[in-house]
Chain A
């Protein structure tokens, strides 16, 4: 690992992606050429949140100009199987409504026509006779006995009720000096990428095989789900990613049911079918992050040290328990104690269905929901025990020498020095100065508050974490699931130049740039010498179920695998060089485009020339030294399957974040102004500082949206109220202040380059940091997101106007 810190790594080189993206040359799915005869799909969607479909009359639509085919639930159930769900439940999940609609926006019929205009014209000719049913949108109500049941085959809307016990929480609560609790709700939101879903699907009846291009970004576990639904073995579903994708943030995981739907449409229409989702569809029916109701109680000593936590979580996954749920809940299973050394934990997780959009991956993925509860609790402990909130955090942090640290619920925190990082942030970020700013403001009668939060950001998911929802007995029967395989290939062409491939589908993060740095670093070349392909074609490329971009796995796992592949190639080239230069392979060095004898740079050969030897003169290559293409499948050993006590190491790497902020509230309007926001990140080895700053800033912007502006709102009857961007308010550049970004680094011992993920952290820390600041400003115990001016005005009124 020592060579990882040298050379190109850690430099903010210009991104290779940008020249094309900034001049309109991106190749997004809608830009791709399609075969002549490709038809276009439009989807008729349910206007009701919950209703029986009595009849669908599509005769007029079928006869409309340009229409080639119409699909409804009948056709879909006839030619496919239910999408497998993540837990054992007697319920089916289809990509279209079958007999019943369960959320506003659920697909009811698909029209395939010559163009999208005609397809939408034909949609209006479909007559659906609905019998509306009462709907339920609040998870607490859905749990109650009298709530309308969404699926007849299930006994209730609670599809899972699992409890976990780690250590001895009962004993800790019994002997605790204090018991302090919070009841919180985390609202629904999603990251709304600027480019929506896109699918181009083809069916070959001769081979009974599907060929699909989409801006899907993984995880490729869903490939198995899609293939099973389409009733084909995996090798008859070729899935290809588009070269460019306009943002995903996890959301484009949710295109998979539409891939199934459009594949069936192509089959029925006997022609390739293209579908580009529009914004109205995306807001209502792509995915949403889960909303969650949590009661979190702590057993606390008088000095603020927590000895036990008791979580009661009610997770709302929407109308269907659709894959990969309940991943949002279980992704954090190993991290329920956050940054703190708390040995006793009890958890009750109930997963409930409501008449809302089915949920899925969204930046932060389970972290925002957990940390909102945990970090609100930390502030409440300080307030109720009259302690300094910073001291309460510090006192509970995992101590420096304890890493790798095993959390109570089985997570393995790879590296960190939390106290030192916190102290660094306090010092460099100016917490003391901010506190005196607060004091001055308050002396003037202004409403000013400070919030702070410590967060452990997990990255590189253990594909087995989801099996924590099963009991140990069920896991035994199903067989172990674990790991996080990353795949990378480095290849040499006849001119001696290098191409790298990663099983990745980036959406603007700059992966091709970092990949070029990583490979150039190993081979002694410049990043511009390396061409990187970051697209996945399941028929041609090496891939695994873990392939894709999610859980911030690129820097740690994918770049790490690439580093190993480059090293393998280098070692083989070294053997050929050794023969040629008449030295030992260990004495070969790669630098500045040359391959040379260490200590005698004149004894050298140009890299390109040497590299091409395996093509042009394979006879000169010593046995085992054929260096044409090296593929590495890397899987870290720490990601074991959950144990018999449900201990789950849900992620490989753990970054540390400490944030604090000062906010002021306008008493006239209730508007929130962020005076200063400091965010300190330890993400291990930094491969490209500019990209890291970009990730932090982007996460911060998304989190600001979640904290202050965004909520997917539903009426009590399930009507979807956030149908356009005029209702769902995404912060613009004018609303997002510049955060002060600080760094700390404890490299991970578990990844080849020591890098950890960094993309999701602020989604976990910023909402609760701001909430804590508002609670501090107003002196209130309960704050609900989003903190709209009207919501804050209500808080102001409730507490009276005296400060």
Chain B
């Protein structure tokens, strides 16, 4: 398990990163925490010609709040966001979901933006962003742009990021007063990838449920104020719309059934939480 040969660039400015991405494009890999990339390199499942290490670019750090959203810079580690004292105040759902990301050890190295870049279908950060309607901020030598989470996560481990783009930051909306949040995840072991993950946000207008683990990416649906069998029907329809996979852990049928039950529990809890 030794990587194929690669060049390593330890960037110190944003411009250096853009320059390398312009030069190498799809043959370059941006490395932040490396928690997924390094095992992939070792197994030779990824063979970038150059590894661009962005963790020493000062401009890419920082957690701030502006325009009603939390902005998390590219080099911010998951543990740092979890430790941020204002997290639970500004977005309780993040505070609830993030402890489920991997293990304390991986969170101490892995980054928030890195999780968005990887776009694993059962990952908590993409799920939270799709549920809350967050945005991903991208930059390149040509400029910057923002993409809504719903449009950014395009499929299995795929995003709308172009080869010459760097994820600058993610923006996660702050929660409004009187909003209820809940999260449930089912996995085989502590820290494992979710088999099914459900995140719910409930306010006066209604409830939105986000689901991870059931398709090629996280998906969300609005169930309004539906209850009882009407809610069950809506959840069934939602579950059936998702292209769930059979794998070693579970069959598609099992995932759908679990999602309907867990989804309902999560919705009800978020609504109770509003009070």
Give the B-binding residues of A (Cβ under 8 A). 116-117, 120-121, 124, 278-280, 668-671, 709, 713, 721-722, 724, 726-727, 729, 731-732, 734-735, 788-790, 793-794
**Assembly CA distance A278 to B262 (angstroms):** 39
Contact bitstring B254-272, A, C-beta under 8 A = 1, else 0: 1001100110010000000
Report yes or no: B254 in contact with A790, Cβ–Cβ below 8 A. yes
A124 to B5, CA, bound (A): 13
Q: Which residue of the partner chain, among B1, B5, B186, B265, contacts A121 with CB atoms under 8 Å?
A: B5
Give chain A residues whose Cβ lies under 8 Å from the Cβ of B2.
Answer: 116-117, 120
- Asked if B205 is at the interface (CB within 8 A of a chain A CB), the reply is no
Chain A proximity of B145: nearest CB distance (Å): 34
How does the 8 Å CB contact mask read for B169-202 relative to A, with 1 for contact and 0 for none? Answer: 0000000000000000010111111010000000
Chain B residues within an 8 Å CB radius of A731: 189
Which residues of the other chain, A, contact B44 by a CB distance below 8 angstroms?
Answer: 120
Given contacts A120-B44, A726-B193, A732-B190, contact A790 B1 (CB under 8 A): no
B248 contacts A727, C-beta separation under 8 Å: yes
Neighbouring A residues of B265 by C-beta, 8 Å = 668
Bound CA–CA A785/B44 (angstroms): 33
Residues on B with C-beta less than 8 A from A729 are 188-189, 192
**Contact (Cβ within 8 A) B249 A788:** yes
Cβ–Cβ contact B248 & A668, under 8 A: no
Pairs A–B under 8 Å by Cβ, sample size 13: A278-B1, A669-B186, A670-B254, A671-B186, A709-B188, A713-B248, A721-B248, A724-B43, A734-B189, A735-B190, A788-B188, A793-B254, A793-B258
Cβ of B257 and Cβ of A793 under 8 Å apart? yes
Q: Does B38 contact A (CB under 8 A)?
A: no
* A121 / chain B contacts, CB cutoff of 8 Å: 4-5
Candidates A124, A670, A709, A793; contact of B189 at CB < 8 Å: A709
Closest-CB distance, B236 to chain A (whole angstroms): 15
Interface residue? B226 (CB, 8 A)? no
What is B's interface to A at a CB cutoff of 8 Å? 1-5, 43-44, 186, 188-193, 195, 248-251, 254, 257-258, 261-262, 265
Closest to B264 in A: A668
A732 touches B189 (CB 8 A): yes
CA distance A278 to B191 in the complex (A): 23
What residues on B are CB-neighbors of A713 within 8 Å?
Answer: 248
B-side contacts of A669, CB under 8 Å: 186, 258, 261-262
User: Which residues from chain A contact B192 at a C-beta distance below 8 Å?
Assistant: 729
Residue of A nearest to B249 (CB): A790
Q: Nearest Cβ distance between residue A524 and chain B, in whole angstroms? A: 48
How far does the Cβ of B180 sit from chain A's closest Cβ, in whole Å? Answer: 21
CB-defined contacts of B250 to chain A, threshold 8 Å: 788-790
A-B pairs, top 10 by smallest CB distance, nearest first, are A734-B190, A278-B1, A117-B2, A790-B250, A668-B261, A790-B254, A120-B2, A669-B186, A116-B2, A735-B189
- CB-CB < 8 A to A670: which residues of B? 254
By DSSP majority rule, is chain A's interface helix, strand, loop, or mixed?
loop
Chain A residue with the shortest CB-CB distance to B246: A790
A278 to chain B, nearest CB (A): 4
Instruction: Determine the residue in chain A with the shortest Cβ distance to B1.
Output: A278
Contacts of A722 in B (CB 8 A): 248
Interchain CA distance A726-B188 in the complex, whole Å: 11
Within the complex, the shortest CB–CB distance from A123 to chain B, in Å, comes to 10
Whole-angstrom distance between the alpha carbons of A121 and B195 in the complex? 36
Query: How many Å lie between the Cα of A124 and that of B251 in the bound state?
Result: 35
Which of B5, B43, B248, B258 has the most chain A CB atoms inside 10 A of its CB?
B248
| A734-B191, A789-B195 known, 6 other contacts, Cβ within 8 Å | A121-B4, A280-B43, A668-B258, A721-B248, A726-B193, A732-B190
Q: With a CB–CB cut-off of 8 A, which chain A residues contact B258?
A: 668-669, 793
In this complex, what residue of B is CB-closest to A118?
B2
Q: Which of B43, B44, B189, B251 has the most CB of A within 10 A?
A: B189
State in angstroms the CA–CA spacing of A732 and B190 once bound together.
8
B265 to chain A, nearest CB (A): 8
Q: Name B262's closest neighbour in chain A (CB-CB).
A: A668
Residue of A whose beta carbon sits closest to that of B250: A790
Q: Measured between C-beta atoms, what is the minimum distance from B200 to chain A in Å? A: 16
Of A124, A278, A669, A731, the most chain B CB neighbours within 10 A belong to A669
Say whether B193 contacts A789, CB under 8 Å.
no
Residues of B within 8 A of A726 (CB): 193
Distance between B58 CB and nearest chain A CB, rounded to angstroms: 33
B17 to chain A, nearest CB (A): 27
Interfacial chain B residues near A735, Cβ < 8 Å:
189-190
In the assembled complex, which residues on chain A have CB atoms less than 8 Å from the CB atom of B262? 668-669
The CA of A789 and the CA of B258, in the complex, are separated in Å by 11
Q: Which residue of B lies closest to A726 (CB)?
A: B193
Please, which residue of chain A has its CB at the minimum distance from the CB of B258? A669
Residue in chain A with minimal CB distance to B42: A278
The distance in angstroms between the C-alpha atoms of A734 and B191, with both chains bound, is: 10
Name the distance in Å between B22's Cβ and chain A's nearest Cβ: 28
- In whole angstroms, what is the CA distance A124 to B254 when docked? 40
With both beta carbons as reference points, the residue of chain B lying nearest to A728 in the complex is identified as: B248
Q: How far is the CA of A305 from the CA of B264 in the complex (A)?
A: 50
Contacts of B249 in A (CB 8 A): 788, 790
Contacts of A120 in B (CB 8 A): 2, 4, 44
Chain A proximity of B261: nearest CB distance (Å) = 5
A279–B190 alpha-carbon span in the complex (Å): 21
Q: Which residues does chain B contribute within 8 Å of A790, judged by CB atoms? A: 249-251, 254
Distance in angstroms from A688 CB to nearest chain B CB is 31
**Bound: A788/B5 CA distance, A:** 40
A-side contacts of B257, CB under 8 Å: 793
Across the two chains, which residue of chain B brings its CB closest to A708?
B188
Once the chains bind, are A789 and B248 in contact (CB under 8 Å)?
A: no
**Measured CA separation A120–B248 after assembly (Å):** 29
Of the candidates B1, B195, B249, B257, the one having the most CB atoms from chain A within 10 angstroms of its own CB is: B1
Contacts of B3 in A (CB 8 A): 117
- Complex: chain A residue closest to B261, CB-CB: A668
In Å, the complex CA distance between A671 and B1 comes to 34
For B189, the closest partner residue in chain A by CB is: A735
Query: Could you tell me the distance between the alpha carbons of A669 and B190 in the complex, rounded to whole angstroms?
Result: 15
Residues of A within 8 A of B251 (CB): 790
Is there contact, CB below 8 Å, between A789 and B5? no
Complexed CA–CA distance, A757 and B250 (Å): 38
CB distance from B11 to the nearest CB of A (A): 24
Q: How far is the CA of A669 from the CA of B262 in the complex (A)?
A: 9
> How far, in whole Å, are A793 and B4 apart by their CA atoms in the complex?
43
Q: Which residue of B lies closest to A123 (CB)?
A: B44
CA distance A482 to B4 in the complex (A): 51
In the assembled complex, the CB of B42 is this many whole angstroms from the nearest CB of chain A, namely: 8
Alpha-carbon gap, A631 to B193, bound state (A): 55
A790 to B249, CA, bound (A): 7
Chain B residues, CB < 8 A from A278: 1
Cα separation A734 to B249 with both chains bound (whole Å): 19
Complex formed: what's the CA distance from A734 to B261 in Å?
25
User: Which residue of chain B is the closest to A667 with respect to CB atoms?
Assistant: B261
Q: Which residue of A lies closest to B3 (CB)?
A: A117
Q: Do residues A280 and B189 form an inter-chain contact, with CB atoms below 8 A?
A: no
Find out whether the CB atom of A280 lies under 8 angstroms from the CB atom of B1: yes
Give the CA-CA distance A709 to B248 in the complex, in Å: 11
